[in-house]
Amino acid sequence: METFDHVIVGGGIVGASIAYHMRCKGAGSVLLLERNELASAASSRAAGLILQASTKVSKTPLVKRTRDTIPILEEELGESVGFHNVGSLRIAASEERTLELDSMAADASKWGVPIEWPSTTELSKLVPWLDVSTIRKAAFLPTDGYADPYLLSMSYFKAAQARGAVLRPRTNVRDIIMNNQKIIGVLTDAGHVSCGTVIDACGAWAALFSAQAGSPLPMAPVRSHYWITEPSASYGGEHPVTILPDIGAYMRPEVGGLVLGVQEPRSATFDARELPDDPAAFSPTQGEEHWDVLANSYDAISQFFPGIESAQFSNYICGLSSYTPDGEIILGPVPSISGFYAAAGACGSGIALSAGIGDVIADLVMQQEPAFNIETFRSDRFGMVDPFGEAFRERCAAARASKSRKLT
Ligand SMILES: Cc1cc2nc3c(=O)[nH]c(=O)nc-3n(C[C@H](O)[C@H](O)[C@H](O)COP(=O)(O)OP(=O)(O)OC[C@H]3O[C@@H](n4cnc5c(N)ncnc54)[C@H](O)[C@@H]3O)c2cc1C
């Protein structure tokens, strides 16, 4: 039987960053187990936005940690990790969103995130395709941008491996082994691994995985999606990521065209028990229904982006994000199971939060105080719930619907 100090289950960006941070801090031997290929689930489908200001003030320091880690990783690997530092523009077109923007900006400033307040003329220069006539206020965050999520995940993996982490794709973890509520190992398709720590970084499957230890995490898989346009001279170019919370939409550049993301009023959710092990065998969108979702948003989007009327959409990407009812992640020890930690329910921000999450888990397994306050992220904050039941899943879908706005 093999023995490691720590076993990370799940080889997406969250597991990758945890492996990297654990080895950076010298946390002992680390084995990462992934049942498919590395970064083949949500972490290869994300739009990759890295936005440091958030309606969830708890997220800002963790995202900032990711932004600060990007140049460190690049230095360490001697190559790009696929980050595009185009900045982000957050637009408010109503009084409610203006107040929200002011409060987000004040919070982000406290963490040292640079924020500028462009004039209408400056806005038109930053994003020439934007109709500025209905905009009340806009903030520009020059250090934000977007990453290639697969490249960033693989960069964490490479750096973790160089520091001694063992990465094992195509290895399914079938069970968690405990003795008197204390982790002593895992059972994989290839046999037993003995360890004192297990970290659940199983993405959309995290509640299912933790249920094996009798503690299903309070989160549910929810559909996230976006569309990609053909390249166009009228809106192509390296413009800032543009966030439109009034209509729950965002745009970012994509090889001469745009990525357009829309938060649905009611996103599809799924019972994790019914998901196949291989995400390639499952699509959260059936048939062509997504064109209706896009068509329903046209009028709202065209207020800000009139060019949408003539945009040619050539691609549609969908996948599963994991949401909790309050839109906050689940991060920290799983109560009543010694040696079991959760890093899940990233609420559509796992790429942006990745380094913050990795840093917290690395500190926790080394019995050190995390650099961030993680009280908000406790896994028992909703009390006893059935994360697979429809009523709970609807609460998670509602959190997705209002992701870019404060929950009311
Ligand atoms: C369309 C879309 C757009 C998004 N856009 C953004 C964005 O702009 N910015 C952002 O920050 N986030 C975004 N996200 C969210 C982001 O992709 C996720 O939060 C992030 O990828 C989660 O990473 P993860 O490692 O937790 O999960 P995953 O990448 O899903 O990895 C989990 C892994 O665990 C493995 N696993 C599960 N069970 C087991 C087991 N029993 N044994 C072994 N392995 C197991 C799975 O095979 C999987 O590979 C988006 C998501 C989607 C779908």
Reported as a single tens digit per residue, the pLDDT across 386-401 is 999 999 999 999 998 8
pLDDT at 408 over 70: no
Helix (H/G/I), strand (E/B), else coil: 269: strand
* CB 203 less than 6 A from any atom of ligand 1: yes
CA-based angle 317:319:325, to the nearest 5? Answer: 130
| Sheet with 330-333: strands ordered across | 166-168, 30-33, 6-9, 197-200, 340-344, 330-333
pLDDT at 182 over 60: yes
Two structure tokens written together for 379: 């896994």
Report CA(160)–ligand 1 centroid distance (Å).
18
Over residues 132-153, the mean pLDDT reads 97
* CB 48 less than 6 A from any atom of ligand 1: yes
Given the CA of residue 209, which atom of ligand 1 is nearest to it?
41
pLDDT at 30 over 60: yes
| Residue nearest to ligand 1 atom 41, measured at CA | 173
CA-based angle 226:229:234, to the nearest 5? Answer: 130
Question: Amino acid identity, residue 21?
Answer: H
Check residue 405 and give its pLDDT: 63
* CB 18 less than 6 A from any atom of ligand 1: no
| Residue nearest to ligand 1 atom 1, measured at CA | 225
Over residues 201-216, the mean pLDDT reads 97
At 9-19, the pLDDT tens digits run 999 999 999 99
**Superfamily classification of domain 84-144+221-320:** D-Amino Acid Oxidase, subunit A, domain 2 (3.30.9.10)
Report CA(38)–ligand 1 centroid distance (Å).
11
* CB 224 less than 6 A from any atom of ligand 1: yes
pLDDT at 53 over 70: yes
Check residue 253 and give its pLDDT: 95
- Tell me: domain 2-47+150-220+325-396, CATH 3.50.50.60, correct? yes
Over residues 52-73, the mean pLDDT reads 97
Over residues 113-120, the mean pLDDT reads 97
What does the alpha-carbon distance between residue 230 and residue 221 come to, in Å, rounded to a whole number? 30
Given the CA of residue 49, which atom of ligand 1 is nearest to it?
8
* CB 45 less than 6 A from any atom of ligand 1: yes
* CB 150 less than 6 A from any atom of ligand 1: no
pLDDT at 38 over 90: yes
Report CA(45)–ligand 1 centroid distance (Å).
8
Predicted TM-score of the model (pTM): 0.97
pLDDT at 252 over 50: yes
| Sheet with 191-194: strands ordered across | 2-3, 191-194, 182-188, 173-179
Check residue 339 and give its pLDDT: 98
What does the alpha-carbon distance between residue 141 and residue 64 come to, in Å, rounded to a whole number? 12
- List, in order, residues 6 or more apart from 281 with CB less than 8 Å away: none
Report whether 42 contacts 226 (CB < 8 A). no
Phi, psi of 45 (to 5 degrees): -110, -10
* CB 376 less than 6 A from any atom of ligand 1: no
Check residue 108 and give its pLDDT: 96
- 292 pLDDT tier (thresholds 50, 70, 90): confident
* CB 272 less than 6 A from any atom of ligand 1: no
- List, in order, residues 6 or more apart from 109 with CB less than 8 Å away: 115
What does the alpha-carbon distance between residue 320 and residue 340 come to, in Å, rounded to a whole number? 24
* CB 321 less than 6 A from any atom of ligand 1: yes
pLDDT at 95 over 50: yes
pLDDT at 71 over 50: yes
CA 251 from chain centre, in angstroms, equals: 17
Mutate to test the pocket of ligand 1, among 283, 321, 396 (most ligand atoms within 8 A of CB): 321
Q: What percent of the chain clears pLDDT 90, i.e. is strictly above it? A: 89
* CB 223 less than 6 A from any atom of ligand 1: no
| Residue nearest to ligand 1 atom 12, measured at CA | 349
Q: Which of 322, 264, 337 is nearest to 41 (CA)?
A: 322
* CB 221 less than 6 A from any atom of ligand 1: no
* CB 201 less than 6 A from any atom of ligand 1: yes
Report CA(207)–ligand 1 centroid distance (Å).
13
| Residue nearest to ligand 1 atom 51, measured at CA | 46
Which of 87-91, 146-150, 210-214, 403-407 has the least mean pLDDT? 403-407
Report CA(331)–ligand 1 centroid distance (Å).
15
Domain boundaries, the chain: 2-47+150-220+325-396, 84-144+221-320
Over residues 342-365, the mean pLDDT reads 98
Check residue 404 and give its pLDDT: 65
Which of 286-295, 298-307, 340-349 has the least mean pLDDT? 286-295
* CB 358 less than 6 A from any atom of ligand 1: no
- 287 pLDDT tier (thresholds 50, 70, 90): confident
Over residues 118-143, the mean pLDDT reads 96
Check residue 281 and give its pLDDT: 86
- The overall average pLDDT reported for the chain is 95
More confident residue, 402 or 47: 47
* CB 330 less than 6 A from any atom of ligand 1: no
Check residue 406 and give its pLDDT: 55
* CB 66 less than 6 A from any atom of ligand 1: no
Check residue 407 and give its pLDDT: 43
With 0-12 / 13-18 / 19 or more C-beta atoms within 10 angstroms meaning exposed / middle / buried, residue 207 is buried
